[in-house]
Amino acid sequence: MTPLLDQISLILAYSVIAVYVCAFIGYTLDLGARASAAVQAEAPALVAAAGATMLAPPPQLETSPPRAGRGARAGFALAILGMSLHLAAVIVRGVAAGRVPWANMFEFSLTGSLLIMIVFVFVIRRTRLMILGPIVTGLVVILLGIATVGFYVPVVPLPPALQSAWLVIHVLVALLATAFFGIAFAVSGSQILAAWQEKTHRLRGRAARVVAALPPVEKLDRLAYRLTIVGFTLWTFTLMAGAIWAGRAWGRYWGWDTKEVWTFIIWVVYAAYIHAKATRGWTGNRSAWLSVIGFAAVMFNFAVVNIFFSGLHSYSGLK
């Protein structure tokens, strides 16, 4: 029964990728439609300016979140469908393993990408920030694709060091932190792109119109900061819980293992981000780049450290 459930979980994961790809297409088409609508809206204003018509007051900028277009609504519905299949894949994998489904790189990727989608749905329902649609669904497709092709391993028994309740607590909180950092990365990336285009005007055509449809840089900056605060709080708990678990499993709280060092480096990067914004008033690209660097460190810690560095935390399942 276990191999059958394992295969069902894998088939569900492939199905999830296909649905998320369709959601990505829907969100991308919506962005294109918004860009075209922006050009049509600009045309009368340009004609009026050319005619030196100064009697009418300047148009008011729309400050409320834009209503979702047809493509965005389709993308959101597909994202919910994919998330439901995604949850089923995680549950079936857990039933097949007889434990929580995040004990190796494949399971971590499967569960972690689900949490990214859950945070994404929560954020987009509150902010209606449409640019997150193609970015996040595209990111999750890449993560799931790499996981299913490169990280998949059959269900195997847990090594003794992982047979602990801390596996549930420590790793789940790390997954949640990664999800918030991932969405903050998407927002910060959008912020950098918008600020760069505003300064250089190098993008032309449809690409420029898509960027012009983004919310103000200040709004993106505030959203990324709020998401990072939540992620940093969870990551701090991850660091502390990992030390407690290490003390019980190996008789020491800290041993400068590669995984421990990189977990601390990630904490330092995000602490610097929060400190810079709280005390130095950093805004714009300087803080956004720290957010991007922080998530890059998270991905390095997950992929490169797990695969290419040996140590007490070598639980990728690939060796």
Residues 135 and 190 in one domain: no
**Per-residue confidence (pLDDT) for residue 57, from 0 to 100:** 46
Give me the pLDDT at residue 70, please: 83
Does residue 150 sit in the same domain as residue 188?
A: no
Q: Are residues 274 and 134 in the same domain?
A: no
Query: Domain for residue 95, yes or no?
Result: yes
Angle, helices 217-250/105-127, rounded to nearest 10 degrees: 150
Residues of the chain with pLDDT under 50: 43, 45-64
Residue 119 falls inside a structural domain: no
Q: Is residue 304 part of a domain?
A: yes
Residue 63 within any structural domain of the chain: no
DSSP state of 160: G
Residue 256 lies in a domain: yes
Domain identity same for 181 and 313 = yes
DSSP string, 93-144: HHHHHTS-S-SSHHHHHHHHHHHHHHHHHHHHHHH--TTHHHHHHHHHHHHH
Alpha carbon distances (Å) from 94 to 3, 10, 173, 279: 12, 12, 17, 44
Q: How many structural domains is the chain composed of?
A: 2
Does residue 258 share a domain with residue 131?
no
Q: What type of residue sits at position 211?
A: V
Query: In this structure, is residue 97 part of a structural domain?
Result: yes
What are the φ/ψ torsions at residue 99 (nearest 5 degrees)?
A: -165, -175
pLDDT of amino acid 38 = 54
Show Cβ contacts of residue 304 under 8 Å, excluding neighbours closer than 6 positions: none
Residue 48 lies in a domain: no
- Measured CA to CA, the distance from residue 178 to residue 108 in angstroms comes to 11
The answer on 179 and 132 residing in a single domain is no
Give the range of the structural domain holding residue 18, as residue numbers without chain letter.
Answer: 1-41+69-111+127-154
- Give 304's DSSP letter: I
Question: Are residues 17 and 142 located together in one domain of the fold?
Answer: yes
Tokens, residue 75? 């993308």
Angle at 212 between CA 219 and CA 127, to 5 degrees: 35
**Can you give the pLDDT at residue 56?**
46
Residue 151 token pair: 């990280």
pLDDT of residue 87: 97
Please report the pLDDT score of residue 315 as a whole number: 58
**Claim to verify: residue 243 and residue 101 sit in the same structural domain:** no
Q: Would you state the pLDDT for residue 319? A: 55
Who's near 175: CB < 8 A, 6+ residues apart?
A: 102, 108, 111, 112, 115
In-domain check, residue 288: yes
> Is the same domain home to 275 and 169?
yes
285 in the same domain as 187: yes
pLDDT recorded at residue 116: 96
Say if residue 216 is in the same domain as residue 269: yes
How is residue 271 written in tokens?
């602490």
